[in-house]
Amino acid sequence: MIRFLTLLICLIPLSFLKPVLLNLIGHNISLKARIGFSIVAIGKMKIGDGSRIGNFNFLKFDYLEMSSNAIIGRFNFLRGNFIVLLKEKSAIGNSCVITRAGKGVSYGKSALNLGVLAKITAGHKIDMMRSINLGDFSIIAGSHSQLWTHGYLHAPTGPDRFRIDGEINIGNNVYVGSSCVINAGVYVADGITIGSSSCISKNLTKSGMYVAQPLRYIEKDYEDSKKKLKKINLDGLVEEVYEKPSKG
């Protein structure tokens, strides 16, 4: 019922009325916050002074917390069983797609955490199978980058495969250029610049600049790969899932 009422209130054209009405149904919205004309079906919201949600968003997830002067821009699509935590002056820009698969495919809790003045700019794809943490003053810049917290390893022959999940942890003062791909379980240390069109499949632990590298062959044994991962044993999962250990 709260999600349905939230949806109706957020479609009211008078923005200044929305915080008052949303607070009446159990949310915690500053009277100095602004919510535009968007489809908002979030279970619980806490929004601080000066924060704003723009027009023409689709927001359907479990919990949203926006500290002071945080921003969600326009034309964003966020859907799934996860939470979003935006610290002071952090932002999700425009036309980003942030999603998580439903129960049976996903499991446990997942959170998108943006630090102080952290930003995801425009047109990026974020997979929330597991959590993603973006540190203070870090930015997913440009457009068309992808962050994936799951992937698959296929057997050499036949239909067998298993899924590998892993959260992504990006430190403080990190710059990620346009059209990058960051894969499951990756840790990026503080003070790193990643050049455009780079594919990051391993931890980056030394500060500095990293750019795209030539394609290389990696020896990979199907059964041996399982031994290096943690198997997820939960009722209701529809496929074989292993988790990649995270750092950070």
Look at residue 212 and tell me whether its pLDDT is greater than 90.
Answer: no
Helix (H/G/I), strand (E/B), else coil: 114? strand
Look at residue 46 and tell me whether its pLDDT is greater than 90.
Answer: yes
* 126's tokens: 């974020």
Where does the pLDDT of residue 178 fall: very low under 50, low under 70, confident under 90, or very high at 90 and above? very high
Look at residue 226 and tell me whether its pLDDT is greater than 90.
Answer: no
Q: pLDDT by residue (tens digit) across 70-94?
A: 999 999 999 999 999 999 999 999 9
Q: For the residues 168-179, what does the mean pLDDT come to? A: 98
Q: For the residues 192-209, what does the mean pLDDT come to? A: 94
Which pLDDT value is given to residue 13? Answer: 87
Tell me the C-alpha to C-alpha distance, in Å, between residue 186 and each of 53, 55, 189, 199, 238: 30, 33, 10, 11, 25
User: Whole-number mean pLDDT of the chain?
Assistant: 94
Which pLDDT value is given to residue 248? Answer: 63
Which pLDDT value is given to residue 209? Answer: 93
Q: pLDDT by residue (tens digit) across 151-167?
A: 999 998 999 999 999 99
Which pLDDT value is given to residue 215? Answer: 64
Look at residue 187 and tell me whether its pLDDT is greater than 70.
Answer: yes
Q: For the residues 6-33, what does the mean pLDDT come to? A: 94
- The yes or no reply on domain 97-248 and CATH 2.160.10.10 is yes
Domain layout of the chain by residue ranges: 1-75, 97-248
- C-alpha 154/C-alpha 231 separation (Å) is 16
**Percent of the chain whose predicted confidence (pLDDT) is above 70:** 99
- C-alpha 7/C-alpha 239 separation (Å) is 34
Where does the pLDDT of residue 14 fall: very low under 50, low under 70, confident under 90, or very high at 90 and above? confident
Among residues 78, 149, 187, 67, the alpha carbon closest in space to that of 115 is found at 67
